[in-house]
A and B are shown apart, each in its own frame.
Chain A
Amino acid sequence: MATTNPELAAPTTSASRSALREGWKQLRTPLVYLLPALVIMLVVTFYPLAFQVWMSFTDYGVIKEEGKQTLNPFGPGGTTPPNYRPAQFVGLKNYLDIITNNPQFVARLGGNFDFWRLLTFNLWWTFSNVGFHVALGVIIAVLLNVEGLWGRKIYRAIYILPMVLPNIVVATVWRNMFDDQYGSINQLINLFITPFGFDPVQIRWFNQIQDPIPGIGLPLSYYAMLIANIWLGWPFMAIVATGALQSIPKEMYEAASIDGATDLQQFWRITLPLLRPAMVPAAMVGIVTTFNLFHVIYFMSGGGPLGRTEIMVTQAFKLINVNQLYGVAAAFSVIIALVLIPIFLITNKISRATESYDV
């Protein structure tokens, strides 16, 4: 049955044991401070994760074909429910079903599941969004930093608005804005084009199958969500960039000006290199956030059309919410973790986050 994952459980036990022998004193005080958090994390974080790994090798969930479930062994009055059976070990089946797109498995999910397309889309979704966020954030921060620009404070106050709204609200509002019949985006477009004699358009943002830009396999709903998420994401980057910009000494620009460098040269030679240390960790945070951006996808396109804008986290949720395939969902979540680990390692390496404090 479910045992704690040795890999995950090891640090506390083995570390404390060896420390007991070597020097209890070194560990005693930190352990007291760590203990509450460690105990709680072992119970609510690491044990469930280990359990998840076990689940991923079983048929845990609702087994429709047999009319059985593995979720609840407790019937009324101490009995076992008649439709309960313990989860059975299925080996790597869940993993293989997912990564090989087993036709029967895919058909049972409705026919739109394609793991590799999902993964590619998820990565592309992440990097395209963060790319726009960082680029726009830096440009707008530089723009707002121009000396003598009127109303900078007002602009700064306005520009922070997308950040302060919860993204679940942002997603639902943008979903309605992109409504093909009643949405404000189409209404706005028509406001501009009808005076020139064009027919009003009704762009089907979330349904259109034909790719607006042929050859790259991204449906229109991707672009709709990209627009919404750019709106949502750039202000954070702009604020980070502003903070970094203000720490660049003016003297550097003055010296460059004297040396005859143009504004553009100053931007490339001074501003960008000095922004990098601040922007890289921010971009890493952005990448992890966007990779896992459940609300925007789930509430805007719902993964459509034809599941082409599904990302890993929305698919994982649907495996449970719609299909009650807990075992498959667990395997899927393990795969998500495996995809995120390289991203995490790169984050860690670049931002050197786990390095010791006392340099």
Chain B
Amino acid sequence: MKRLSFSLIALLALFATLLAACGPTPTAQPTVAPAQPTAAPAQPTAGGMAITGTVTLWHAYGTGSAEEKAINILIDRARAAYPQATINVLQIPFDQIFNKFNNEVSSGGGPDMFIAPNDSLGSQIRAGVLADLSEYQNMLTDVTPSGIAGMSLNGKLYGIPESFKAVALYYNKSKVTNPPATTDDLLALVKSGNTLVLNQNAYHNFGWLQAFGGQLMDANGKCIADQAGGAEWFAYLKALKEVPTVTFSTDGGQADSLFKDGKADMIINGPWVLGDYRAVLGDNLGVAPMPGATKPAGPLTGVDGFYVSINSQNVAGAVALALFLTSPESMKVYVDEAGHVPVSTKVSINDPLVQAFAQASATGVPRPQIPELDNYWGPFGDAMTKVLDGGADPAAAVAEACALMNTANGK
């Protein structure tokens, strides 16, 4: 496969070709441009590259969500700005996007690109489904280093970062005046009658592992959560579960509904639902950091980004679309509509709620980009179910989950 890189000169050449081609017939996109990856200077323009050819993008933004609204606005803009390009968009439910992408790309098909959190970046790279985008790294001049790091493994870039993701505590200001700062405060608050809904999974509650002094994996990818913090973490969840005003939900849509309906005063969730919550709660919506314990809480920090398939015949077009969608102008839409926390330093955040999430992202635990993380979700999610729904012993459940994770990883 031939990858094309564009420099400023290339860009000019391209525009020249386009202008020349803007005769009576719209021709196919120009395909030849001198590749000068090293000489590319900073590109202040939006996107920096022209979107060409056919680009297919998959996303997992829920139907009717603020995120979907944002991407629709942006795709419309991209289509208007680059009418000669064909941009196809497909929405896949979030629980299926990785499965479907991996399966499609492994069997020779799939989209040119997709946007998702870096949940399984390590294992996807290992499975060989993502294209190496290192040659475009110099175009990401206004991206914070942690944004780049979230899309990289072993010094290679595998995605164009879009936003940071980390969970924080949403609260309804009409019910909760002072958000709890510590886990004990939170427990006291729910015991005094305030309601809380928690997503029962290994992602949303991860932050409390660090709060209780724990760490998931050592440098070799071996699970060590059972050595410190893990048992306390699960014991705390169990203590919350025993309070009648706390609801644990395994259905994210259900948890969101409870919070939006006013049936729950607090919920721990990420910035991606900010737009949806605000549409219902308005000024009553507040965001506070996830409560800490002996240490501050360390929610898993993820980076959402655009990944390009190894099968893509139009890497340049896909990268151009990704750059367009992450340009400061586009990021403003993402921030305003959906509450995303941009990776771009060029976008100033005025919204205090988005700022709260920016803060959460900055202080969280960066998601380890190693394939071993892939085997964390199942065992720990199940361990949580065993403790919360089955009354299992927290320490034993964490130890079992760690052992299972290590078996799967061959540690």
- Taking a contact as CB atoms under 8 Å apart, the answer to whether B389 and A204 are in contact is yes
Q: Which residues of A contact B128 (CB under 8 A)?
A: 67-69, 82-83
Contacts of B375 in A (CB 8 A): 107-108, 110
Q: Is the CB of B127 within 8 A of A110?
A: no
A111 contacts B107, C-beta separation under 8 Å: no
Interface SS of chain B: helix
Q: Answer yes or no: B407 CB below 8 A from chain A CBs.
A: yes
Q: Report whether A69 and B410 are in contact in the complex, using a CB–CB cutoff of 8 Å.
A: no
Whether the pair A108, B408 counts as a contact (CB closer than 8 A) is: yes
Instruction: Point out the residue from B106, B258, B385 that lies within 8 Å of A209, measured CB to CB.
Output: B385
Q: Answer yes or no: B295 CB below 8 A from chain A CBs.
A: no
The contact size tier of chain A is 35 or more
Report A161-187 residues with CB < 8 Å from chain B CB: 179-182
Q: Which residues of chain B have C-beta atoms less than 8 A from A109's C-beta?
A: 378
Query: What is the distance, in angstroms, from B300's C-beta to the closest C-beta of chain A?
Result: 19
Residues of chain B in range 67-121 having any CB-CB distance to chain A below 8 Å: 96, 99, 102-103, 106-108
Do B379 and A69 have beta carbons less than 8 Å apart? Answer: no
The answer to whether B123 has its CB under 8 Å from any CB of chain A is: yes
> Among B107, B258, B378, which residue has its beta carbon within 8 angstroms of that of A69?
B107
Which of A70-78, A90-98, A262-270 is the contact stretch?
A: A70-78
Cβ-based interface call for A26 (8 A): no
1/0 per position for B385-400, CB-CB distance to A under 8 A? 1100111000000000
Q: Which of these, B103, B313, B378, contacts A321 with CB under 8 Å? A: B103
Contact at B391–A210, with CB atoms within 8 Å?
yes
Of all chain A residues, which has the CB nearest B108?
A72
Q: Closest Cβ of chain A: how far from B387's Cβ, in Å?
A: 9
Selected from B1, B108, B390, the residue in CB contact (under 8 A) with A210 is B390
Q: Are B407 and A72 in contact (CB under 8 A)?
A: no
Once the chains are docked, how many angstroms separate the CA of A195 from the CA of B405?
Answer: 49
Query: Is there a chain A Cβ closer than 8 Å to B195's Cβ?
Result: no
Contacts A65-B126, A179-B254, A208-B389 given; indicate if A111 touches B382 (C-beta within 8 A): yes
Q: Looking at the assembled complex, report how far the CB atom of B131 sits from the nearest CB atom of chain A, in whole angstroms.
A: 11
Complex CA–CA separation, A241 to B385 (angstroms):
43
A153 within 8 A of B: no
- B125 nearest CB neighbor, chain A only: A67
Given known A83-B310, A110-B379, A208-B389, contact A67–B127 (CB-CB < 8 A): yes
What CA separation (Å) do A208 and B386 show in the bound complex?
Answer: 9
Q: With A71-B107, A81-B108, A209-B386 as given contacts, are A111 and B126 in contact (CB-CB < 8 Å)?
A: no
> Is the pair A72, B254 in contact by a Cβ cutoff of 8 Å?
no
Q: Assuming A62-B127, A69-B128, A181-B247, is B107 touching A104 (CB within 8 A)?
A: no
- For residue B250, CB closer than 8 A to chain A, the reply is yes
Q: Is A207 interfacial (CB 8 A cutoff)?
A: yes
Min CB distance A252 to B, Å, is: 54
Nearest chain A CB to B173's CB is how many angstroms away?
23
Instruction: Given the known inter-chain contacts A72-B107, A209-B386, please indicate yes or no for A182 contacting B408, CB distance below 8 A.
Output: no
**Docked-complex contact A74 and B389, CB < 8 angstroms:** no
Closest residue on chain A to residue B406 by CB atoms? A107
Give chain B residues whose Cβ lies under 8 Å from the Cβ of A83: 106, 128, 310
What 0/1 pattern do residues 37 to 70 of A give for CB contact below 8 A with B? 0000000000000000000000001101101110
A324 at the interface (CB under 8 A from B): yes
Residues of A within 8 A of B1 (CB): 75-76
Please report the C-alpha to C-alpha distance between residue A4 and residue B391 in the assembled complex, in whole angstroms.
53
7 additional contacts (CB under 8 A) given A64-B127, A207-B250, A209-B386: A68-B128, A75-B1, A83-B128, A104-B407, A179-B251, A181-B247, A320-B103
Q: Which 5 A-B pairs have the closest CB atoms?
A: A209-B390, A110-B378, A72-B108, A107-B408, A83-B128
